[in-house]
Amino acid sequence: MSIYVFFLFLIYCSVSWCQYDLADVTRDTRMSVNDDMFVTASNAFINFAVLLYPFRNATAGEPISCNIIYSTSDFFVRSIAVVGVTKNSTNSEQFMYVFTAEKMSTITPYVCTVTVTKSTCAASYSCTVLGRNGYHPEYFLVGVDTNSTHAYGFTSEFVFKLDIYANEIVLNLTTDDVWPSQSFIPHALDVADTWAVVAGYGYEYLLVQGENRCVVLHVIFIYFRTGTYRALYQTVGCLIDLSQLINASCVPITSETSYLIPSNVISYNELYELSVAIRGQKVLIGIPRLSSVVILCHFGSSLNVTRTHLLSFMSSPSIGRVVDWSDDTTIAILIDDAYETDWSTTQIFFYDEDLVTITSPFFTFPNNQQIMGTRLLRPKIARFMITTGGNMGMITSNDDMLIIPLASTGYVSTWNETTKRTFSFYYIPTICIGGTYKNRSSLGPCSICPPGTRNPSLSSTGISQCMSCSSNASCPLASLSEINFTTAASYSQAVPYPETTDATDIEDFLIENVFQINSKPHCVLISPLFWALVVGGLCLLYLTFILLTHLFNCTSCMRCHGRAKIVFKHTDIINEGEMWLGGLATFAIVVLAAFTYWFSVSFIRRYPIENIFQPATFACDESLINAQFSTGLELLTIPKSNEAQPIFNLLDKQTFNLTVELINTGFACSSITVQENLLTSKYVVLPSDCHRSIEIAITSVTITLPKHLTTIQVNMTGPYSIGGIRLCVRGQGETNGAYTLRELDFCQFYMTANQVIGRYTYVPIVFVKNINVTQALDTKDPTVYSGIWMPTFSEVSLSDEDYYTEYGNYLRYTSSLTVLQVMFDEHPFYMKNIQQPIVRAPELIFHNLLFTSLCIELFAFAFLFLKLLVIPICRPIVHRCNKTINRNGEHYNEDVSKSTDE
């Protein structure tokens, strides 16, 4: 009983909604394209969309679009094959296509030809009933030979040949005439000039269990009834001679030993789909169930498998449901869900016929230069075909048509955004974007310029080679212009805080300054000791002069001396006016003291270091300053003094502007957005100020940060690459009494040699507060605070090159989103730099007094030394000399005694 109900259900189902899924686009071949026309059928809208000259450009005349309503709404179109311009049409006025269909109410297979008149879009149908009522073939293939004279239809039950122009069935055969195996279910077809290739599943019965060989025709029946018989299927490719159609020569195209599940072979299952494409004598067959593509060669009357390629993308459920030749050596394979793209869930991979591996595609479609607009709602590519001219037509799962003409050298066919209510979307050949080139005609994107070359893309013609740069370094991959490293340099306001010199004692400075003579002319000139020696030398000269006058008895001179001695005695501060020699030495002391005071006065003014612009000409060491420094890290959480707090407030209040300069890029301002990332995946969009300079290929975005600790994300959409990034942080300075917030201006340039910045870059910037505390020279004055933020730019990983090396260079073109994240953080410590004078005025005065008295004491000590040691030794000698002199002139002595009395 239950089985009975089940069969009733089967019959009911087959007649009504199960059999005819009007919305399904992927099943059957309801699209066909050649260089003359592109036809798709929509059973849901009972409508053929016909494009005449679909790949013609605007200058050659726009494509012509016609909507052709089915001749009856009872039609369910199964497959289409375009013929193109009809042979007898004058002025290319008439176009023709063939389709196979079923009348749904009676399940009657048909084949029809449709002639479309170009100027009026009028269509005329000529249909032939194939005369097998009630038979619903799972696959109902149709193809037209390259001579465009005949159409060929294949099902698992019958095969026919139709003379297109005579609209007459020339051959009407059953399966047994054509296929060598007991039964055969054709899945895919392609037709050349005199031969065709049909791929499908052929089967034989195999007794697994049971006693009798069962001759039951319907496999499902066996399967349902006992479950003990299984059929051994094989995937075969059959070569068909189009003149006869009979006795196809079939070869197994897989060597699989596993059993295929019969129900899946007989009824439709997407996994069991096959696809065939012929180019010259080469045949390409896609087997999605095994993730394989097989290339066969047509030799005489047989097909030989030349290559089998196995692909396995982890995430892909289907590889090769549709395949085609892009040119004589390039194959195109439809792959589902290979990886996420923003444009579609399936991609077409283009490979060299000899090298089909996961990493080896030349390119994929869609890609970042050839997107599918958001209007298409991220579709699945239902089917595509590439014409002999190399143009591509495509339908999506939403029944939209995509027309992608072959783009010549230097051009790429790109999406043309439109707001029109249309279901046909044209790609237009446009010049390669900046930083890319294309050296051959293809359906694919332009390739990026290798390092050391560039393409500014400013001219109106496409280029096949990038021009070379003056140096390799200034042109990384994908360059538009040469990077000018002067305009893109990093710079920083950070300077090392000065360190205190060894001597921090004013006495050291005084002594060093006074008692040191350096060989440098400048040092000699300002050396107090030198001038003291000069004075001492003058005194010595004077003494010698006196001695000479004594020797030569110059009376008037001696009288002069007498007076001078009195004066000198009065100036003597060493021996309290006792010795006229002391008076002479006093001059030297005065010179020393004068220089010392000059030094002191000049020295004390050399504070703080920020106000010193001239070299210290008064000292031998011209960098001499009256400042000592100490520096250290302090924890931010430690409470600040009332005096220090305002500088922290100023620092925390400063507004940062982040400028992101994208160097060597083609990104336009309109494709850049900036956001502030919040917790989890939330974000807010930030306003930004963007400028682009096309000549130097720099786009710069300035953002005012809403707060200091945040993460900013810059999103760039488009096919462009970035050669380098410069991040600049700027902020305005402010002065508030003794508190100065310094202007912030840091820039950091990021680049990796010969490579581009990766699609996702993360740059952390850690800020450190840097506070300079300058104590006043005069203790009455307030301490001066100045603060600046110091960013630390970390080394980051910038390039995706390793990823592309590992997983395939084509991945470069599969994403159009470039993300730069900049995270701002603050260090928990701050730098505290303290500057204080080495000496303040009162201390200096005191030290100067001490120093003066020291000088006097030193001279006094010298005199004492003279008195106690030198004179006792010299006196006897002098005495003896005197006696000799006395003998020679008594009067001299008298004069001397006279003058001393005075």
Q: Which is nearer to ligand NAG, 699 or 836 (CB)?
A: 699
Rounded to a whole number of angstroms, the minimum distance from the CB of residue 781 to ligand NAG is 30
Three-state SS string across 285-344, please? EEEHHHCEEEEEEEECCEEEEEEEEECCCCCCCCEEEEEEECCCCEEEEEEECCCCCCCC
Tokens of 291: 């993730």
Rounded to a whole number of angstroms, the minimum distance from the CB of residue 733 to ligand NAG is 9
Q: Which is nearer to ligand NAG, 49 or 616 (CB)?
A: 49
Rounded to a whole number of angstroms, the minimum distance from the CB of residue 274 to ligand NAG is 20
Q: By C-alpha distance, which of 434, 465, 431, 432 is closest to 663? A: 434
What torsion do the CA atoms of 438, 440, 442, 444 make, to the nearest 10 degrees? -20
Q: Which is nearer to ligand NAG, 470 or 680 (CB)?
A: 470
Q: Which is nearer to ligand NAG, 665 or 815 (CB)?
A: 665
CA-to-CA distance for 665 and 672, rounded, in angstroms?
12
Helix or strand (DSSP H, E) at 52: strand 47-52
Kindly give the residue spans of alpha helices, DSSP state H, lying in 321-460. Answer: none
CA-to-CA distance for 624 and 640, rounded, in angstroms?
33
Q: Which is nearer to ligand NAG, 124 or 853 (CB)?
A: 124
Distances, alpha carbon 221 to alpha carbons 4, 175, 182, 226, 260, in Å: 13, 20, 16, 9, 16
CB-based contacts of 181, cutoff 8 Å, min separation 6: 202, 203, 204, 234, 236, 250
Q: Which residue is nearest to ligand NAG (CB)?
A: 131
Q: Which is nearer to ligand NAG, 535 or 765 (CB)?
A: 765
| Terminal-to-terminal C-alpha distance of the chain | 165
Rounded to a whole number of angstroms, the minimum distance from the CB of residue 145 to ligand NAG is 7
CB-based contacts of 310, cutoff 8 Å, min separation 6: 290, 291, 292
Tokens of 153: 């239809």
Rounded to a whole number of angstroms, the minimum distance from the CB of residue 702 to ligand NAG is 5
Rounded to a whole number of angstroms, the minimum distance from the CB of residue 161 to ligand NAG is 11
Residue 263 phi/psi, 5° resolution?
A: -60, -35
Looking at the DSSP bridge assignments, the partners of residue 95 are: 85, 116
Question: Within its chain, how far is the Cα of 745 from the centroid?
Answer: 24
Q: Which is nearer to ligand NAG, 297 or 564 (CB)?
A: 297
CA-to-CA distance for 111 and 143, rounded, in angstroms?
11
Q: Which is nearer to ligand NAG, 170 or 546 (CB)?
A: 170
Contact 39, 87 (CB under 8 A): no
Rounded to a whole number of angstroms, the minimum distance from the CB of residue 723 to ligand NAG is 15
Rounded to a whole number of angstroms, the minimum distance from the CB of residue 167 to ligand NAG is 7
Q: Which is nearer to ligand NAG, 307 or 550 (CB)?
A: 307
Q: By C-alpha distance, which of 430, 443, 411, 425 is closest to 372? A: 425
CB-based contacts of 423, cutoff 8 Å, min separation 6: 49, 399, 400, 401
Rounded to a whole number of angstroms, the minimum distance from the CB of residue 840 to ligand NAG is 38
CA-to-CA distance for 349 and 322, rounded, in angstroms?
11
Please report where in the chains the tokens 């096949």 appear, as a residue. 464
Q: Which is nearer to ligand NAG, 553 or 659 (CB)?
A: 659
CB atoms within 10 A of CB 646: 17
Rounded to a whole number of angstroms, the minimum distance from the CB of residue 725 to ligand NAG is 18
Please report where in the chains the tokens 């294309």 appear, as a residue. 438
Rounded to a whole number of angstroms, the minimum distance from the CB of residue 297 to ligand NAG is 7
Distances, alpha carbon 112 to alpha carbons 126, 136, 159, 388, 494, in Å: 5, 17, 15, 24, 82
Q: Which is nearer to ligand NAG, 473 or 554 (CB)?
A: 473
Q: By C-alpha distance, which of 128, 78, 79, 75 is closest to 104? A: 75
Rounded to a whole number of angstroms, the minimum distance from the CB of residue 295 to ligand NAG is 13
Rounded to a whole number of angstroms, the minimum distance from the CB of residue 305 to ligand NAG is 9
Q: Which is nearer to ligand NAG, 11 or 60 (CB)?
A: 60
CA-to-CA distance for 206 and 257, rounded, in angstroms?
13
Rounded to a whole number of angstroms, the minimum distance from the CB of residue 596 to ligand NAG is 49
Largest CA distance in the chain: 173
CB atoms within 10 A of CB 885: 15
Q: Which is nearer to ligand NAG, 87 or 225 (CB)?
A: 87
Tokens of 778: 């005069």
Q: Which is nearer to ligand NAG, 400 or 800 (CB)?
A: 400
Residues interacting with ligand NAG, by CB under 6 A?
57-60, 86, 88-89, 94, 130-132, 147, 149, 165, 169, 172, 174, 193-194, 299, 302, 304, 416, 418-419, 426, 428-429, 484, 486-487, 657, 689, 702, 704, 730-732
Q: By C-alpha distance, which of 684, 681, 759 is closest to 717? A: 759
Distances, alpha carbon 292 to alpha carbons 276, 295, 321, 322, 536, in Å: 13, 10, 10, 11, 108
Rounded to a whole number of angstroms, the minimum distance from the CB of residue 176 to ligand NAG is 11
CB atoms within 10 A of CB 217: 8
Q: Which is nearer to ligand NAG, 334 or 701 (CB)?
A: 701
Rounded to a whole number of angstroms, the minimum distance from the CB of residue 196 to ligand NAG is 12
Q: Which is nearer to ligand NAG, 572 or 661 (CB)?
A: 661
